[in-house]
Amino acid sequence: MRVHNAPIIEAANGRTPSRPPVWFMRQAGRSLPEYRQAREGIDMLDSCFMPELLAEITLQPVRRHDVDAAILFSDIVVPLKAAGVGVNIVPGRGPVMDAPIRTAADVGALPILDTDIPEVAQGISIVLDELTPQQAMIGFVGAPFTLASYLVEGGPSKNHEKTKALMHSEPDTWHRLMERLTPTIVAFLGQQVDAGIDAMQLFDSWAGYLNEPDYREFVLPYSTQILESVAGKIPRIHFGVGTGELLTAMSEAGSEVMGVDYRVSMADAAKRVKTRVLQGNLDPALLFAGDDAVRAAVARIKAETAGLDGHIWNLGHGVLPTTDAEAITRAVAIIHEEG
């Protein structure tokens, strides 16, 4: 193991860390002037296949904010792109597909990733050379529901209605789609593990749009397979937005750590999950509210997580692009001092 007593890994494994571990989703990205400069004139998805650049962007927030982990700069659609799916990331919008996947024939033709993505492995290796043994490198993949939503809708969606329509009108096609997506996700995750990541997060950002029976029937088996594929290798974090009502079901997928958004209290989340370690819960908008507001939220979350085996500090969703970078640095310092 490259890491030695890294606070995030200690907390994920239920041991006492040397300081309260913190990283922020979307800590790399538009909140940082150095990111905007590094990415200038370079297409978002292209940047995910440029080892030096992706490593530099991954490391920027670690240097600036003193967070306890680097999160791989990539995107949930990178393995689809590498498999040959026509996808672009449109500035200000997100992933947009050349052709949506809506029929059994579309699903049958969806390519499965069967090659290495050497650029990502090289990027991870550059990052690992720069990190101290106390700083963990977190890799990630998108979960099949969230990825399927982009594929079926054709792009970002507010209500995910075409995705849910496919699920309920053609359940066999839905399951075939999940069965074709899962090996691509497992392959990309395996490549990150082989490249040396210290922990992983499964992002099922849009799972919170589902009710629990649908989640259990149409999604949980596949997310379970993905998490199982790296069981015993690295700590696993499982996260979705607006998933207060799904926490019990999601925690059955098998991660060591459950990510919690900001809509549910950590006290309630702890009662709902099978895991003994939670992550998250600070409202990203609090980074606009001043240090006292952050301090108050940190005190609340600290009290609510006191009885757990571990807590990894994070926001309830990603850093908002217009967040002041200095407010992020101060929030990290407040967590290290008072968390």
Q: Which of 68, 102, 150, 236 is catalytic?
A: 150
Residue with Cβ nearer ligand 1CP (62 or 304): 62
Select from 11, 62, 73, 134 the one that contacts ligand 1CP (CB under 6 A): 73
Check the annotation: does 28 bind a ligand.
yes
Residue of minimal Cβ distance to ligand 1CP: 94
317 labelled ligand-binding: yes
Phi–psi pair at 329, nearest 5 degrees: -60, -45
Check whether 270 is labelled as a binding-site residue: no
Contact flag: residue 163 with ligand 1CP (CB under 6 A): no
- Binders of ligand 1CP: how many residues, by CB under 6 A? 21
Q: What angle do CA 313, 246, 151 make, to 5 degrees?
A: 95
CA dist 39 and 51 (Å) reads 13
- Determine if residue 205 is labeled as part of a ligand binding site: yes
Based on CB atoms, which residue is closest to ligand 1CP, 41 or 232? Answer: 41
Residues in Cβ contact with 103 at an 8 Å cutoff, skipping those fewer than 6 apart: 173
**Helix ranges restricted to H, the chain:** 7-12, 33-39, 44-47, 51-65, 78-83, 104-109, 118-130, 144-153, 161-169, 171-195, 212-218, 220-228, 247-251, 266-272, 291-305, 325-338
Could you give the CA distance from residue 133 to residue 131 in angstroms, rounded to a whole number? 7
Q: Is 190 annotated as a binding-site member?
A: no
Looking at the Cβ atoms of 182 and 304, the one nearer to ligand 1CP is: 182
Lookup: tokens for 317: 């969703």
CA 83/CA 87 separation, integer angstroms: 11
CB proximity list for 10: less than 8 A, separation 6 or greater: 16, 17, 18, 21, 310
Q: Does the annotation place 30 within a ligand binding site?
A: yes
* Binding letters toward ligand 1CP, positions 103-142, x by CB under 6 A: -------------------------------------x--
Q: Which part of the chain contacts ligand 1CP (CB under 6 A), choosing from 90-98, 126-134, 212-220, 296-304?
A: 90-98
Helix (H, G, I), strand (E, B) or coil at 202: strand
Catalytic residue among 35, 39, 102, 204: 39
The residue from 89, 124, 141, 297 that contacts ligand 1CP (CB under 6 A) is 89
Binds ligand 1CP (CB under 6 A): choice among 55, 76, 185, 269: 76
Catalytic residue among 68, 75, 198, 204: 75
- Residue pair 176/101 in contact by the 8 Å Cβ criterion: no
69 scored as a contact of ligand 1CP (CB under 6 A): no
Strand, helix or coil for residue 94: strand
d(CA 318, CA 172): 34
Is 150 an annotated catalytic residue? yes
Strand partners, 89: 95
- Residue 44 found at the interface with ligand 1CP (CB under 6 A): yes
What are the structure tokens assigned to 244, written together?
Answer: 């207060």
CB of 262 to ligand 1CP, least distance (A): 13
DSSP state of 313: B
For ligand 1CP, what does the binding mask look like between residues 221 and 260, x meaning CB under 6 A? ----------------------------------------
Please say which residue, 25 or 282, places its beta carbon nearer to ligand 1CP: 25
Q: Interacting stretch for ligand 1CP, rule CB under 6 A, among 86-94, 117-125, 274-282, 329-337?
A: 86-94
Which positions lie near ligand 1CP, rule CB under 6 A? 25-30, 44, 71, 73, 75-76, 89, 91, 94-95, 140, 146, 156, 203, 205, 318
Annotated catalytic sites, by residue?
26, 30, 39, 75, 150
